[in-house]
Amino acid sequence: MSLPRRTTCHTGSRLRVFVTMNAMLWAGQVILAAVFLFSSVTKGTWSRARLLAAGQTGVARVPMRLLRVVAGAEFLGVLGLLLPGLVGVWPMATPLAALGLAMVMIGAMAIHLSQNEARVAAMNFGLFLLAVFVYVGRMGHLG
């Protein structure tokens, strides 16, 4: 009596789902990395006046030192989103980076909502959801 064999259709289907999910997670990571790389460079190097002139109204009431710390955290998040998957070291860094960026977006939403900027807060919420998607997806791939 032999054990039933898995059909290639079932195994192939699971593989397709895994590959598709991995591609979607990478797309999310690249989008987040691009957004937060730009954000970290501008917040980390531009003056408050230049940031405000460029439409970054959320920086109006945030101390510049705190803004620079947030810029550093965003840059570390970018590294955490990309490097582990590219070099194969410490894969846990990717979901942790996504979680950290999601928390940054909670703060950004609070700032923009306090300034009655619902449209900007909605964009922050979209980035928050994308970061949560990456966090949950990459945590699932670690298990």
What residue ranges do the domains of the chain occupy? Answer: 9-142
* 15 has a pLDDT exceeding 90: no
Q: For position 143, what pLDDT does the model report?
A: 59
Tokens of residue 132, six digits: 């949560």
CA distance 73 to 70: 5
Q: For position 35, what pLDDT does the model report?
A: 98
The better pLDDT of the pair 8, 23 is held by 23
| Crossing angle for the helix pair 93-114 and 8-45, to the nearest 10 degrees | 50
The better pLDDT of the pair 8, 68 is held by 68
Confidence bin at 74 (pLDDT 50/70/90): very high
* 50 has a pLDDT exceeding 80: yes
* 98 has a pLDDT exceeding 60: yes
Q: For position 42, what pLDDT does the model report?
A: 97
Which residues have C-beta within 8 Å of that of residue 92, sequence separation ≥ 6?
Answer: 84, 142
Confidence bin at 6 (pLDDT 50/70/90): low
Q: Are 97 and 137 in contact (CB under 8 A)?
A: no
